[in-house]
Structures are given as structure tokens and as C-alpha cells.
Structure 1
Amino acid sequence: MELTTVVTQNQMQMTSKWNSGLCDCCMEMKSCCYAFWCCPCFACSTTADFGEGLCLPLIDILGPGMLAACGVAVCVPPVTLSMRTAVRNKYGIKGSLFEDIMISCCCIWCSWCQMHREIKYHNVPVMVVTSQPVCLNQPISTTGVIMSAPPGTAVVTRMM
């Protein structure tokens, strides 16, 4: 996937798409089952992976009940909507607030699964490999170990 970021007058334009579709929950059966059988726990772990408070999604469960007791009807889960918008903004994903509201209200489990996949995609560690020209038939030394490589062979060592 190609990601392009265009910065114009201190505003970032959204030029990327979600890495998976809203209904691609079965791409990762483990997280799909986790979300289906215990969505509050799944939402909490997804929020923590994003760097927000672990128990933040519990507001979606407790908040409407408390507000309904006071006579205020709430149909949009505030944390789900906020998280979806934050994920979209952080990773430069195209979309609108209206779309986020509709998805948060109608497809809450699919929304959390999609956010989980997106966060997981962007949190993959990156390994930088540099190469230098290798002299032919000359030993290569790495941390006291002498190795020789045939001509045209790249030697990759991993330091632990």
C-alpha cells in the first residue's frame, strides 16, 4: 500500500485508505472471536494498544446507562466514535465524521476489529538494513567472529 502525506499550510490532508475493509473481520479469526465473545475486553485492549487509557471503552457501556437514568438518550457510543476518528487522523486515513458516526452506531464490533487491525498494521517494528560494499575474498568480522563470504553474497547479522 502506498501512503502519501501532503502538508499544506500546517494541515495534513488525508490520502490513505484503511488497510482492511470494515467487514474483513475474518482476516484474523483470533481477534474476531475475541471481539465477538468479549467486545468490552477487546475494545479495552485495542485502546491500550493505541496508547490511550485501558478502561476508556467502559464509558460506552456505563455512560449511556447513567445518562438514561437522568433522562438523556444517547445513541452514539462516544469512545468508539472518538477512537475511530483518532485512528483515522493519526494514520492519515480518508473519511468523514458522518461516516465514523454511522459505523460507530451500526457496526460497533466491526469498527473495533478494523481499528485493531489498523493499529496492529502500523505498530509493526521496522528493521533497517544497510549494506556496504564487500571486498572479494576478504573475511568479514562481526563482534569477534570471523566469517568469510563468497563474492556477491550479502551477509546479514542480527545483534541481540
Structure 2
Amino acid sequence: MYPSNAPPSPSAPVQAAYGQPPMAQYATGVPQPPMVSYVKWSSGLCGCTDDVSNCCMTCWCPCITFGQIAEIVDEGATCSSCAVHGTLYTLLLLLTGRCQAIYSCTVRSKMRQQYRLADEPCNDCIVHCCCEPCALCQEYRELNNRGFNMSRGWEGNMGMARQNQGVQMPPFAQAEMKR
């Protein structure tokens, strides 16, 4: 009748941390983090020819494609423009010959986390080290398919979003009340 300070019995249905039932815990009683569902990429890694103009741009000047991707993924953060990312990418390419793949891998990982994309077909670093142009084309297409106009950059896309939100709908006319 009165609440007791005794711990609940093991058979009592108690919700664990994260809202999981007790069966979702490890044997030690430590709660597991909630399950995260991942979505598939909108196009495959080898779908470069789906956007031929981007494919050509990425093959001849990957720094531009990477800069556009990084600016959108960084959401226009301070000192995070297409030119800054593209220049850093180019310097890494010219000075090291391969370390730009590690830099672009970090942007891909951040993009996957933001949009909860699956780690397909393999780890981000392996994708970028083995096939850098294909990975950049896939990331570009993904952002493009999500509604970003890549040539506008972050601020241009946000300006268009604000402008589209300003469109007012005509007021809803209510019907007459009848008895």
C-alpha cells in the first residue's frame, strides 16, 4: 500500500535507459544505445554517368566538385566556402599525391552522419582511396537529389528556401454554418 524504498523485483517490468525493455540490455545490465536506421544512397557508387557533366568536371577538376560538396555538408560554416575547401584539396593533391582522399573521406563521413546514409559499399576511407572520382560523383548526386542546387552553394540554397517559405497561401474560406 505504501511505496517502499526496496529495489524492484527482477520479474517487475522496468524500462531501462533509452526506453528499452530489460531484454535489450547486455548481460551486465548496461543499456544499449538506440538502434539507428540507415537509408540507402540515392544512386550507386558506379553511377557516374547518371550526371555526365558532373562526371567530366570531377575527372578533370575534382577540387571544384569536392569544394561544392564540402560547403553544403559544412552548412556554410565560417571559413567554409567552396573556394577554401577546393584550394585545400588541391594543395593536398599537389603536395602529397594521395592525402586529399583522407580529407574527402572525412567530409563523406560527416555527410553520412547528417543524412543517416548507409556505409556502402564499404568503409568511407576505402571508397575514397580506391575510387576518389566515383565517391565524389556519388556524394554530389546525393546532395543534388536531396534538393540542393550545387552551383548556388549553401547561402544560395538557404536564400531560395527562405524565399519559398515566404510564399503565402490564400486564406481558407469556411463554409456557412447550417442547422
Report if TM-score (shorter chain) is over 0.5.
yes
Q: Deviation digits for residues 75-114 of structure 1, max 9, x if unmatched?
A: 5723211111011111111117x61010010111111111
Give TM-score scaled by structure 1 length. 0.59
CA shift, 1:11, in A, is: 5.3
Q: Deviation digits for residues 36-78 of structure 1, max 9, x if unmatched?
A: 1211122112222333522224334424765x6xxxx965723
2:51 to 25, 28, 43: 28
Aligned to 1:93: 117
Q: Does structure 1 retain, via aligned residues, the 8 Å contact 2:92–2:99?
A: no
CA distance in 1, matches of 2:100, 2:92: 11
Q: Cα 1:87–1:14, aligned 2, differ >3 Å: closer, same or farther? A: farther
Q: Cα 1:118–1:12, aligned 2, differ >3 Å: closer, same or farther? A: farther
CA distance in 2, matches of 1:118, 1:58: 23
CA distance in 2, matches of 1:19, 1:82: 20
**Matched length:** 123
Give yes or no for the alignment of 1:107 onto 2:136: no
**Gap runs ≥5 in structure 1:** 1-7, 136-160
- Of Structure 1 and Structure 2, the greater strand share is in 1
RMSD (CA atoms): 3.5
CA distance in 2, matches of 1:29, 1:88: 24
Give TM-score scaled by structure 2 length. 0.54
1:48 to 53, 71, 75: 71
Q: Does structure 1 retain, via aligned residues, the 8 Å contact 2:48–2:55?
A: yes
**Gap runs ≥5 in structure 2:** 1-16, 19-32, 149-160
CA distance in 2, matches of 1:63, 1:78: 10
Q: Cα 1:12–1:41, aligned 2, differ >3 Å: closer, same or farther? A: farther
CA distance in 2, matches of 1:13, 1:25: 29
Q: Does structure 2 retain, via aligned residues, the 8 Å contact 1:35–1:42?
A: yes
